[in-house]
Structure 1
Amino acid sequence: MFEMTIFFLFTIGFVIYFLYRVNKRFSSDYEELELKRIIPFLEEKGGNHLSHLILLQDKDVYWAQDGRVLIAYKKIGNKLVVLGDPIGEESSIQAAIREFNKYSRSIGLTPVFYQISPRFMHHYHDTGYRFLKLGEVAIVNLDKFSLEGKQGAKLRTRLNKFTRNSYTFKVMNPPYSNDLLSELKVISDSWLGDQKEKGFSVVSFSEEYVSYFPIALLSDPEGNIVAFATLANDYKKNMTIDLMRKSSDSPHGTMDVLFIHIFKWAKERGYQHCSLGMAPLAHVGDSPFSFKKEKLARVAFLHGNSFYKFKGLKEFKSKFACTWEPKYLAYKKSFLPNVIIQLLLLINSQPHQKYVIDKIKYLFKKAG
C-alpha cells in the first residue's frame, strides 16, 4: 500500500512537471501563432469596445463563417460565454451568431453573449435569445469635451494645481524596458492592495499585456510615476482607457488629471471617442416600466455599494462622459440567477494565460 502511494505521488508530480515544462517551452510559440492571425484580422476588420481584451490570452477564439467573423469566448460550467458581439463583416454577424449557437449545442453547452450592443440585438432575438440590461458604457466625445465654463471648473482647477506643482504627462510606446515594467508592476500592486485581479471582461496587469499598448504616464516633480493607463483602440477612430492604476499615496485628483491629459492627447491624434468602460448597473431598472429582474438589479445598485462600488464608479465616469451606451446580456431560456452566478465566478476567477492543455495540443500538432 505504501509503495502504491509513493508511485501515485511520483506520477502526479511527473505530470505536473511535464505540463510546466511544456507550458514554459511552447507558450510563446503558441501565443505568437494565435496573435499572428488575430491582430491582422482586427486591423483589417476593426474591433469593438472589448476586442483589446482578447490580447489577455485567457479566452478561446472561434472563427465563424469561414474565418470572416471572430468570436472570443470562455467556458464555465455548462456555458460558453462570449465577450461582446462577434467581430467581422457585418453582413456575416447574424449567420455567425447562429453558427456559434449550433456549435455550442453540438458539444452539449449553452451559449451566452456578455456585453452585447443594441446594434445587433435583432440578430440575437431572431436566434432565440432573451436579454438583461447589464449597465452602460461611458463614452467621451473628444470633439465636445471641454474644461471651459462653469461645468468644467472643478476639473480645470484640479489640472491647474497639478501643473503648478510640476506634475508631468507623457505617452510612451512599446517596446518597454524591464525597469519601466517593474515600476508599473509596483504601482499596480500598490493599487490592488489586498484585492485580487479579475479576468475575462475586466483587464488585469501583466507585463506581456501592457506591452501591447501605448501607456499614458503621470509623474510627480521628482519624475516618479504616480499613475498610468494603457490606451487601447478598436482599430478605427475610437480609443479605450483600459488598465488604469495609481500608487496608494498619489494625491487626490490624480486619475482626473491623468484622464484629462489622455483626452487632449487622443483628440490631437484624430480619435473621435474615448470609452471609459462599462459602469455596471448604470441606468438599469430606473424606469417604472423596467422588468422585475432589472428592478431587482436596481436595488443592488442603490444598496450594494459595500460589495462593489457601483454608484462611485458611475459618478466618477459621469464627470467626463458625454453619452452612455447600454450593454446587454443575451442568454437562452434558463434559470437567470444561475447564469449571473456563473458570470460572477468567471469575472472573479484568477486571470491566466492560454490553457496548458491547449499548448499540449499545439505541441502534438507541431510534432506532426
Structure 2
Amino acid sequence: STDSPIAAPTPTPRASSAPASRSACASAAVAHADRTDAMLAFTGDKRFLVSDSGDAFLMYQVKGASWIVLGDPVGPSEAWSELLWAIRARADAAQGRLLLYQIGLRIVPIAIEMGLKLVKYGEEATVELDGFTLETPEMRSVRKASRVAERAGAQFAVVPAAEMPAIMAELHAISDWWLADKNHAEKSFSVGRFEPGYMAKFDCAVVRIEGRIVAFANVWGTPNRQELSVDLMRHSEDMPQGGMDFLFTRLMLWGHDSGYRNFSLGMAPLSGIEARRLSPTWSKVAAFLFRHGERFYGFAGLRAYKEKFRPNWTPRYIASPGGTSLLRGLIDLQALVSR
C-alpha cells in the first residue's frame, strides 16, 4: 500500500462468486464479524472480494454499469482500504460506476481519499444492553405495550437454529400472510428473504399464544457478542396488540442475559428538516431508500418507533462519484433490491 492520497494500493484481493466460494465467505462473516449486517453474506445474491490475507471481504453486486458495495467490509479494518481500492479498480476497468451503500463513519476517510462524494441518508439505532431494563420512566410506553401482549397470553422463546426445521412450515405460512397483508414482495441484496435454507442458519425469536406462533424474527448475533439484531420480522393476523414491542423487549433482555453488548434496531430515514435540505437529485430517490433500503421496512421504519427504545443514533452514508452517477447508481440499486 501507499500513504499517497491519490495513489491506490495494488489491487491484490480475489473475487468470489461461485456458490462454494460464497459459502466460504459467508462462514468467514460469522467468524470475523463485529456487525450483524455481515450476516447478509448468507443470502446467496452477492459477490465477494476477499482480502489478500483471506480474513476480510466486502460484499457487492453489479447491476447495469453500477458496482454496488453493501455496508462496511467484514473482518480486520486494516484490510478495508485495500479492499475498497481494489473494487474501485475493478469498476474503473469495467467502465462502471462505484456506489458504496450503507457505509459507516469508519469508511468515510477512505471514501473521501478515493474522491467519492458522500450523502447522509439515515441513521442507525443501537441500544446498549448493559443495564437495559424496562423499569424506567423513559421506557413506560414500551413497558405498557409489552404488558398488554403479556395479558393476552403472549409467550417468548428463542428457537435454536438446529430446531428450525420443526417450525419452518408454521413460519412460512405467517410470512406468506404478512407479505400479502402488507402488499409487499420479498426484497433482496440489502435485506434477507424468507427462504428455508437461509432461515435455518439462524436462531429465531418467536411469540406464541396458546402454543401457536403469532410473530417471529430471525436473530442475527456476532460471535464476539458485540451486536445482536434481527432481519425478517413478521406476524400473523392474530398477533395481540403490543406483540412486536413484546418481541423486541424480550429479545433485548435475552441478549443482555446472553452477554451481547448492543442491539441494532436498524436504519431510520432522515428527519423532515434534513430531508428538505437535500439536493433535487437526492430527493428523487430518497423515497425509495426510505421504503426499501433498510431491514425494517413494513411496520417499524419510523424513527419515532425506534426512539421508544432510547437508542444511540449513528449516521450511515452513500458514497458515489456524485452528480448523475448517484442517481443512476441508485436506480440500479432499486432494481437490485426489488428484483
Find the aligned partners of 2:62 and 2:136 in 1 and give their Cα distance. Answer: 49
The yes-or-no answer on 1:273 pairing with 2:262 is yes
Give 1:348's aligned residue: 338
Give 1:225's aligned residue: 213
Give 2:12's aligned residue: none
The yes-or-no answer on 1:52 pairing with 2:42 is no
- Residues 1:154 and 1:235: Cα distance change in structure 2 (over 3 Å): same
Find the aligned partners of 1:257 and 1:167 in 2 and give their Cα distance. Answer: 8
Give 2:14's aligned residue: none
2:242 counterpart (243, 253, 262) = 253
Give 2:24's aligned residue: 36
The two structures have a TM-score, normalised by structure 2, of: 0.83
Q: Is the 8 A contact 1:83 1:113 kept in 2?
A: yes
Give 2:68's aligned residue: 81
Shift of 1:285: 5.4
- Residues 1:118 and 1:176: Cα distance change in structure 2 (over 3 Å): same
Shift of 1:187: 0.6
Shift of 1:132: 1.1
2:309 counterpart (306, 320, 323) = 320
Counterpart residue type for residue 60 of structure 2: Y
Counterpart residue type for residue 169 of structure 2: S
1:184 counterpart (167, 171, 178) = 171
Find the aligned partners of 2:105 and 2:39 in 1 and give their Cα distance. Answer: 20
1:96 aligned counterpart, secondary structure: helix
Shift of 1:130: 0.8
Q: Is the 8 A contact 1:110 1:332 kept in 2?
A: yes
Shift of 1:258: 0.6
2:205 counterpart (191, 216, 221) = 216
Find the aligned partners of 1:311 and 1:204 in 2 and give their Cα distance. Answer: 17
Give 1:240's aligned residue: 229
Where is the helix percentage greater, Structure 1 or Structure 2? Answer: 1
- CA RMSD across the alignment: 2.8
**For the pair shown, which has the larger CA radius of gyration, 1 or 2?**
1
Counterpart residue type for residue 225 of structure 1: I
Counterpart residue type for residue 332 of structure 2: Q
Find the aligned partners of 2:58 and 2:137 in 1 and give their Cα distance. Answer: 45
Shift of 1:206: 0.9
The yes-or-no answer on 1:137 pairing with 2:124 is yes
Give 1:339's aligned residue: 329
1:74 aligned counterpart, secondary structure: strand
- Alignment gaps of 5+ in structure 1: 1-29, 350-368
Shift of 1:215: 0.5
Find the aligned partners of 2:315 and 2:72 in 1 and give their Cα distance. Answer: 13
- Residues 1:298 and 1:197: Cα distance change in structure 2 (over 3 Å): closer
Find the aligned partners of 1:174 and 1:157 in 2 and give their Cα distance. Answer: 31
Higher alpha-carbon deviation: 59-68 or 178-187: 59-68
Could you list the per-position Cα deviations for residues 209-245 of structure 1 after superposition, in whole angstroms to 9, with x for gaps in the alignment? 111111111000x200000111102333211121111
1:65 counterpart (52, 58, 61) = 52
1:249 aligned counterpart, secondary structure: coil
2:334 aligned counterpart, secondary structure: helix
- Residues 1:284 and 1:233: Cα distance change in structure 2 (over 3 Å): farther
Could you list the per-position Cα deviations for residues 266-296 of structure 1 after superposition, in whole angstroms to 9, with x for gaps in the alignment? 00011010111112x23475289x5535984
Q: Is the 8 A contact 1:240 1:274 kept in 2?
A: yes
- Residues 1:348 and 1:164: Cα distance change in structure 2 (over 3 Å): same
Counterpart residue type for residue 174 of structure 2: I
Q: Is the 8 A contact 1:286 1:298 kept in 2?
A: no
- Residues 1:124 and 1:314: Cα distance change in structure 2 (over 3 Å): same
Find the aligned partners of 1:149 and 1:104 in 2 and give their Cα distance. Answer: 51
Find the aligned partners of 2:272 and 2:113 in 1 and give their Cα distance. Answer: 24
Q: Is the 8 A contact 2:29 2:39 kept in 1?
A: no
The yes-or-no answer on 1:167 pairing with 2:154 is yes
The sequence identity of aligned pairs, in percent, is 29
Shift of 1:322: 1.4
Q: Is the 8 A contact 2:29 2:41 kept in 1?
A: no
Shift of 1:31: 4.0
1:341 aligned counterpart, secondary structure: helix
Higher alpha-carbon deviation: 102-111 or 239-248: 102-111
Could you list the per-position Cα deviations for residues 165-186 of structure 1 after superposition, in whole angstroms to 9, with x for gaps in the alignment? 3321111112235441000000
- Residues 1:49 and 1:325: Cα distance change in structure 2 (over 3 Å): farther
Alignment of 1:103-118 (within 5 A): 103-118=90-105
Counterpart residue type for residue 86 of structure 1: P
Shift of 1:146: 2.6
Shift of 1:125: 0.5
Find the aligned partners of 2:220 and 2:78 in 1 and give their Cα distance. Answer: 26
The two structures have a TM-score, normalised by structure 1, of: 0.77
Find the aligned partners of 2:282 and 2:58 in 1 and give their Cα distance. Answer: 31
Shift of 1:121: 0.4
Q: Is the 8 A contact 2:215 2:235 kept in 1?
A: yes
Shift of 1:153: 2.0
Could you list the per-position Cα deviations for residues 22-53 of structure 1 after superposition, in whole angstroms to 9, with x for gaps in the alignment? xxxxxxxx6455323531x2344324242111
- Alignment gaps of 5+ in structure 2: 1-17, 292-296
Counterpart residue type for residue 102 of structure 2: Q
